[in-house]
Chains A and B, each alone.
Chain A
Amino acid sequence: MSETTQAAVSAGTLPAFRFSGAETLKHIVLIAGSVIVLLPFYVMLSYSFKSPAEIMQNTGGFFGMQELFRDDYCIKLGKDAVDCMVTPVIYNYTTAFEKAPLLRYLFNGVVVTVSIFLIQVLVALPCAYALSKLRFWGREAIFGLVLFCLLIPVHAIALPLYIMLAKVGLTNTYAALIIPWTISVFGIFLMRQFFMTVPDDLIDAARMDGMSEFSIIWNVMLPTAIPALLAFAIFSVVAHWNDYFWPRIVVTGDRSLFTPPLGLREFKGDADGDNFGPMMATATIIVAPLIVAFLIAQRRFIEGITLSGMK
């Protein structure tokens, strides 16, 4: 994106259009990349608008013809065929909400991601502060352990975690969805790297003013670390909003605890075949909050990522 804006700016200042082979090549590569990334989203959005027949036959363009079609499920319920004629887009989205309690899932998603993030911050900030600004024996070793933990994939420890939670009797609760993620090694690492750049003088000044160490963390470090915290928030929220693996493991029976990605399972092949239209409508609804949030926080997001990338 920055490429195109840059090109536009330079085109504005140049007296006339000048063909540049290198620039063209760059744009071809970037456009090809963005097409590859965007294509699944295009298909998802398109399918959420179309009727089953159009999806199967791959006709109807992006929006589909929006011709009425017969809802077989409605016929099964014994209603008159005339009452069962539906518009594809309306059918897809209403089914998404009717067949699965999608609002409940979205609510669960919000509860889980927000609690995870808040507790992660609660844990990561003091840890990062200690690792970056306090001198104590074994600090480097502990930081080494933190880095080591970054290397462990969740899937490797999923089973022991599940067994522990099951023994305590926490499976099928919000706690099971939240507790394993409350200590974010990545968060500790990211905040530690940011805190390293905060001048020591600021902390000394706070000590001279009479702040306790905890008060320094919440009243001095937290406000200065807002950009880094935002970057971390996006990583954390995106990861846990989209997580399918862990909720699938610990939420075994109770559907009222399903998170949005689990909701997609509701449309998985039944006897009457996969119901792609409503499934894609659900997918669209699930990713929409993240996309909206990203668009709102776009500038901050990019700032945060470049910041964490540089330091």
Chain B
Amino acid sequence: MTAISLSGIEKSFGATSVLNGIDLDITDGEFLTLVGPSGCGKSTLLRILAGLEAPTSGTVAIGGIAVNDMRPARRNLAMVFQSYALYPHLSVAQNMMTPLKLRDLPLAGRLPVLGPLIARTRYRAIIEQVRDTAQILKIDHLLDRKPGQLSGGQRQRAALGRAMVRKPVAFLMDEPLSNLDASLRIHMRSELAELHRALKTTFIYVTHDQAEALTMSDRMAVMMDGQILQLGAPDEIYNDPRELRVAEFVGAPKINLLPGSVDKEGHARCLDLPLSRVTTDAPAGPVRIGLRPEHLSLCDKDVSESFSGQVVHKENLGADIYLHVAIMNASQRLVVRVSPVEGRTVSFGQTVHVSRERGQAMVFGNDGRRLDLSRSLAEDVAEVA
């Protein structure tokens, strides 16, 4: 079932166009991530969905109903902001009560002192809801504190709580983890994913961090220059990017891109090394060949099809070591992932040999589009390399 659908969304500020025709269907209960570099329009798209910004053209529909003219609050979406945006003068409990008060209480019930007396039962229900939500998020001991007295992680939870209490159709999250420190961010990543599983509500999550997108989402949409370049499961995006820009954006360290060409037999070659085979009807000419660091490994120098070059940099991450190898007369750099055992013996400036280990090289045409492998030949290629 489609919970939210965006069709033909365009947005421009003056002469600069930010979104160019976005079509996106979000199914009920899925965790969808919009990921892209800053300035790609992902936040604008989220704000259009929330109703905080009006699209220049296109339709936003929630549950099959067009909501273009509906005020943000009526759309029953909840948003978590990067800066948390908690009301600084209200306690956590009051912060969490605000959306419920505004939605459920009549005008008289919102009066400062008299309100709780006039709408006593509803008021109690609201307090009950706030307490339940706080328990789920484990912030029930912080309810009386002001946001200023909380740590970053606690503020994050309070902001989540304020979003959760109203039981929205979908959660919209605009880089909610960016202000947290690294270890807490990784912890909150799993917590958010668990929360999503528990709530079974749609999450729409905006981030520039591809790691967050890969780890949490059911589907991710890679956005660039106001367009969705590719939409799919994280696995698919990582292993089968349809465009050069997607391949470059997703994956850390970045994918290695080597210049090459397609020969008559359909082999994509870099210098003399055949790296992959593409369909024979692919246009001959210069291509770019992408190899992820984990698809490469060190080998002996007598392996025929290998690159050789000098180690110019060594990144030790503990579990993995990334070697930066200058190849082709130092005109290209290759990042190779090796295990700590292998990597220990490699020293700076040493000449090493690198061969393609596993996985398939990705070949991108001149226009940045992916050139498909010919399936029947795929196995051959694996042997060739």
Contacts and interface: CB of A to CB of B under 8 A. Distances in A.
Interface of A: 199, 201-202, 204-211, 220, 223-224, 226
Contact of B73 (A199, A201, A210, A224): A210
Contact of B88 (A207, A209, A224): A224
B50 interface: yes
Nearest to B79: A208
14 contacts: A201-B81, A201-B82, A201-B83, A201-B84, A202-B83, A204-B81, A205-B86, A205-B162, A207-B73, A208-B50, A208-B52, A208-B73, A209-B99, A210-B103
Interface residues of B, number: 24
Nearest to A198: B88
Contacts of B50: 204, 208
Contacts of A209: 73, 98-99, 102, 162
Contacts of A211: 73, 102
A70 to B, nearest CB: 60
A201 B47 CA distance: 11
B125 interface: no
Interface of B: 47, 50, 52, 71-74, 77-79, 81-89, 98-99, 102-103, 162
Given A199-B83, A201-B83, A208 B88 contact: no
Given A209-B98, A209-B99, A210-B103, A204 B85 contact: yes
Nearest to B13: A135
Given A210-B73, A210-B103, A204 B87 contact: no
Contacts of A210: 71-74, 99, 102-103
B89 A201 contact: no
Given A210-B99, A211-B102, A202 B73 contact: no
Q: Majority SS of interface residues in chain A?
A: helix
Contacts of A220: 87
The 4 tightest CB contacts between A and B, nearest first, are A210-B73, A223-B89, A205-B85, A210-B102
Contacts of B82: 201
Given A223-B89, A224-B88, A224-B89, A208 B83 contact: no
Contacts of A208: 50, 52, 72-73, 77-79, 99
A224 B77 CA distance: 25
B102 A205 contact: no
B62 to A, nearest CB: 14
A205 B79 contact: yes
B88 A199 contact: no
Nearest to B89: A223
A244 B239 CA distance: 79
A3 to B, nearest CB: 31
